[in-house]
Structure 1
Amino acid sequence: MAETDYRITRRAVLEGGAATCLFLASGLPVGAQSASATVATARVTTPIARIPMTLRINATEHALELDPRTTLLDTLRNHLGLTGSKKGCDHGQCGACTVLVNGRRINSCLALSAQHEGDEVTTIEGLADGNQLHPVQAAFVAHDGFQCGYCTPGQICSAVGMLEEVRAGWPSHASADVAAAAAALTEAEIRERMSGNICRCAAYPNIVAAIRDAAEEV
């Protein structure tokens, strides 16, 4: 009986490798590929039903029909033309999109518009009284509390909300006495309470000074 030769040749290795690459590149069987493509096409082409909603922005009501996934920030910027609120990180980390909802500051990039029917939403455009700037806005101008200005609308809205929190007696991690009726608005308090708003130009000293001055007027 002849002895079988089980030695592996270089040619066999190359042929086997080429066959494996072709198999991996082919992916799913043809039938499965067709089904997968059909599902993907259906997902892309099926429209999401818009829903009617009424939002009260800067004391004005707006009747809209929106994709239920639309964020409050995108509604303000893309549907109402209120571009003062900026899209920075779009992940709730920089604070450039901060607005006030019923007097409390929120990141509008993380909020769905559908959540806020019936709420009073105030953006940077709604803070001034006609030609009279809000005290926080005026203080930012007086102290040059900005450089490029991109974060400024969020900084100002956040400062307005923060000052209301201080008046309400809310403590912060910098508060020496969390049971005190009202915290002293020290530099450490301001920096801690405004830490959710990032200024990439690093205008923080002027921002702090502006807020301390505005606190005496609002």
Structure 2
Amino acid sequence: MKVPIERIRGIIITSPQANHSSGIGGLVHIILFSTKGKITIVGPKGIKVLVDSLFEYCREKSPDSINYIELNVTEINQFSICNVQFTVISSVRHKSIPNYGIICQIKNKQLNQKTIAMFNGDIRDFFPMINHIQNNKIQIDVLVCDYKANQTNKIQRKREYPAPNIISSIVNNDIHPSKFVIRCYSSKCIKEEINEIITHVQNEIQVQTLIAYNGTHVTLY
């Protein structure tokens, strides 16, 4: 589902790395020109400084209509945007460059209640978030996780991101989603390897498994 730009009320940045955060200035500028409503920007420490500096560079005043929430690396972050509840938890790898996973709980008349969990990075790094799901007995309707294969050697690729049996084990034993989406954000992903994961997961745990390549929209509901 594509959302009109004027309806966007929240942006969550899950990593300070450039491929996650460098486009925030242009996006915010477009949103603010499209609507008079307030928006919430959530991100790692320094997100407000980043956005303010971009407006300053353009010789413009940073708008008062932006509400900022800076994420804490060591704590569970909980907040709401437009009555949607979010829980954001840091991964355990690369403490100097944190990645965050998101649990999103949506309630409306059409969907009743749906809970979506998104892992930004290697699923093995997110055991704090997995523990939170288990300890609070959260039923995950849709699990979205990244898969990246950008090495030249297949053995090296599987060292970087988990092999199909590891993914299957985590999904089946720890999370139990109703739907599983593998997000391939790199054009270097190997389709044969991705198809191997899909086949393995579906055969092992009988969970509907979908893949989202670059630019592909997958219905999360």
> TM bucket by the smaller chain?
under 0.3
The structure that is helix-richer by fraction is 1
The structure with the largest strand share of the pair is: 2
Please say which structure displays the higher CA radius of gyration. 1
TM-score (norm 2): 0.27
